[in-house]
Amino acid sequence: MSTSTAYHHGNLRAALIAAAEALLEKAGLEGVSLREAARAAGVSHNAPYRHFPSREALLAAVAAAGFARLAAAMDTAEPGSRAACRAYLGFAAAHPALYRLMFGPGLSKDAHPELRAAAGAAMRPLRAISAAGASREAAVGVWALLHGLAVLLADGQLADDLAARPEELAEVALATYGAGLRAAAAAPGSG
């Protein structure tokens, strides 16, 4: 903002992340190009390389910012609560392409440590579920249920009338799974 001497952009890094995210939502992952982002930021096609060593690094930064926003969205809710799950699903429905980028392959968390940190922080509210006493496998089930709904929504695999009410879906599915968890706790080892 303040420093804009026409030659030096002033805040290119943030501008590129914003441009890349806009491209991501508009044209999907394959539609995000370094050159297009640079164009949108009003700089030459090579300027991004001063801030990101590769296209993948820019995408990792976009994903990390996404995790931060996801964490913020869940932050107002009780960790592990139904509200947190609803916020999670709402985020996925509102930013499908970003959600896919965050949880998809292609962005190795080993190659981008900042990504691992951001993801870990964002997932904490969900990990509270397994801390609440459920077995590890059962807790994975909750995450899988949530993630499965999120991905089905993000990829448009659900019938339209169902996709229109993501919160209701989450409510029913989580209530069902929760009832199953309680039943298993009451009568363990039943088959």
Partner DNA sequence: CAGTCGATGTTGACACCGTCCACTCACGCG
Partner DNA sequence: CGCGTGAGTGGACGGTGTCAACATCGACTG
CA-based nearest residue to 86, from 153, 179, 40: 153
For DNA, the closer of residues 11 and 130 by Cβ is 11
The option from a second copy, DNA, none interacting with 113 (CB < 5 to 8 A, set by class) reads none
Stretch 30-49 residues interacting with DNA (CB under 7 A): 32-36, 38, 43-47, 49
Tell me how many degrees the CA angle 168-26-39 measures, rounded to the nearest 5: 150
Q: Is 176 in the site for a second copy (CB under 8 A)?
A: yes
Q: Is 22 in the site for DNA (CB under 7 A)?
A: no
Cβ atoms within 10 Å, residue 109: 15
Among 3, 5, 76, 137, binds a second copy (CB under 8 A): 137
* Amino acid letter, residue 180: G
Among 5, 18, 182, 188, binds a second copy (CB under 8 A): 182
H runs (alpha helix) in 42-155: 55-75, 82-94, 96-103, 113-131, 136-154
Tell me how many degrees the CA angle 138-140-143 measures, rounded to the nearest 5: 120
The option from DNA, a second copy, none interacting with 79 (CB < 5 to 8 A, set by class) reads none
CA–CA distance, 169 with 151 (Å, rounded to integer): 13
What does the binding site for a second copy look like in residue numbers (CB under 8 A)? Answer: 28-30, 96-97, 100, 103-106, 135-138, 140-141, 143-149, 151-152, 154-158, 162, 168-169, 172-173, 175-184, 190-191
What does the binding site for DNA look like in residue numbers (CB under 7 A)? Answer: 3, 5, 7-10, 12, 32-36, 38, 43-47, 49-51, 53-56
